[in-house]
Amino acid sequence: MHKKLVLASQSPRRRELVTKLGVAFNVVSPTSDETLDSSLTVEGQIEKISEEKALSVFENYQDCVVLGSDTVVVLNGEVLGKPKNEEDAKDTLMKLSGSKHDVITGVCLVSSECKRVFSVKTEVEFFELTEAEIDAYVATKEPLDKAGSYSIQGFGSVFVKEIVGDFYSVMGLPISRVNQELIHNEW
């Protein structure tokens, strides 16, 4: 990669994952609207938000490659974003208890020469959770800023019975796919 990489994100998890690329990068907070567009598929919605994040930063970093990303959890067609408060987190975790759900992460890579937008879907299954387990987990505050109210790499990992797909996508960025896009496109 010949250009500097800029991560358009406030997420410490995405920052951690981008370090795995082994390249220097800057982090800039995006200034885009994260409202979902219900006229699109969930994948289309999350790709659009990722693109808007990347483009909002690209305006001021046109000599760089800008990476934008966003993640949602989908249970039976319902999009479960970040919880509004502790009660919302508890309600979300009760819904996820004993069930399979999809985690969809959208990604946009943009430079002056190229733009790639894609999404990665991963299926996650939870064990049955007790109310006491959920209360104890929410008390850690960990789920309060996470799509679906859990952190697969944190304390929430003990709820996961099975994962089919990309673990890092559930964390917030399918870093292997991002790496492949950077290698196989002219950036």
**In terms of C-beta density within 10 A (0-12 exposed, 13-18 middle, 19 or more buried), how is residue 38 classed?**
exposed
Are 107 and 177 within 8 A, CB to CB? yes
**CA distances (Å), origin 96, targets 10, 80, 108, 135, 148:** 26, 10, 28, 14, 8
- Quote the CA–CA distance of 165 and 5 in Å, as a whole number: 26
Catalytic (active site) residue 33: no
Catalytic residue (choose from 33, 37, 63, 70): 70
Rounded Cα gap, residues 124 and 135, in angstroms: 21
In angstroms, the first-to-last Cα distance of the chain is 6
Give yes or no for a contact between 187 and 149, defined as CB atoms under 8 angstroms apart. no
Gap between the Cα atoms of 113 and 20, Å rounded:
24
Active site members: 70
